[in-house]
Amino acid sequence: MGRRLGYVLVFIGLFLLFFGLFERFYAYPRLKKAPLDQESAPVAVGTGTYFNRSPEKLREITGAQLKNVRTVKGDPKAGTEEIAVWDSFTSTVDLADGGVITATQERIALDRVTAQSVNCCGENPRHQGLTLKFPFDTKKQTYQFWDGPANRALPAVYTREETLEGVKVYRFEQRIDRLTLGSQEIPGSLAGDPSVASVQTNIVYSNVKTIWVEPATGIIVKGQQAVTQVLEPATGGEKVLTLLDGVLTYDDATVRANAADASDAASRLRLLSTILPIGALVAGLVLIVVGLLLLRAPEGRRVRRAEGESHPAGAV
pLDDT in tens, 95-106: 998 899 999 999
Residues 19 and 123 in one domain: no
* Domain membership flag for residue 239: yes
Residues 243 and 165 in one domain: yes
* Domain membership flag for residue 304: no
- Domain range enclosing 19: 2-23+272-296
Residues 64 and 142 in one domain: yes
Residues 213 and 283 in one domain: no
Residues 50 and 147 in one domain: yes
From residue 135, give the alpha-carbon distance in Å to each of 3, 74, 215, 219: 51, 18, 8, 8
* Domain membership flag for residue 116: yes
Residues 160 and 279 in one domain: no
Q: From its phi and psi, is residue 73 left (phi > 0), alpha (psi between -120 and 50) or beta? A: beta
What is the pLDDT confidence band of residue 299, given thresholds at 50, 70 and 90? Answer: low
Is 153 or 306 the better-scoring residue by pLDDT?
Answer: 153
3-class secondary structure, 124: strand
* Domain membership flag for residue 257: no
Kindly give the pairing relationship between strand 198-214 and strand 241-250.
unpaired
Rounded Cα–Cα distance for residues 43 and 65 (Å): 13
Is 8 or 112 the better-scoring residue by pLDDT?
Answer: 112
Residues 218 and 280 in one domain: no
Dump pLDDT digits (tens) for 5-62: 766 766 676 776 666 666 565 665 666 899 999 999 999 999 999 998 877 677 899 9
pLDDT at 285 over 90: no
Residues 72 and 134 in one domain: yes
Q: How many domains does the chain have?
A: 2
Q: Which amino acid is at 195?
A: S
Is 311 or 4 the better-scoring residue by pLDDT?
Answer: 4
DSSP string of 47-87?
A: EEEEEE--TTT-EEEEEEEEEEEEEEEE-TTT--SSEEEEE
Q: How many other C-beta atoms lie within 10 A of the C-beta of residue 279?
A: 15
Residues 15 and 130 in one domain: no
pLDDT of residue 100: 93
Residues 47 and 172 in one domain: yes
* Domain membership flag for residue 177: yes
Residues 14 and 138 in one domain: no
- Which H helix or E strand runs over 12? helix 2-22
Kindly give the pairing relationship between strand 59-74 and strand 43-52.
antiparallel
* Domain membership flag for residue 182: yes
* Domain membership flag for residue 143: yes
Residues 143 and 206 in one domain: yes
From residue 241, give the alpha-carbon distance in Å to each of 16, 46, 55, 253: 69, 21, 16, 34
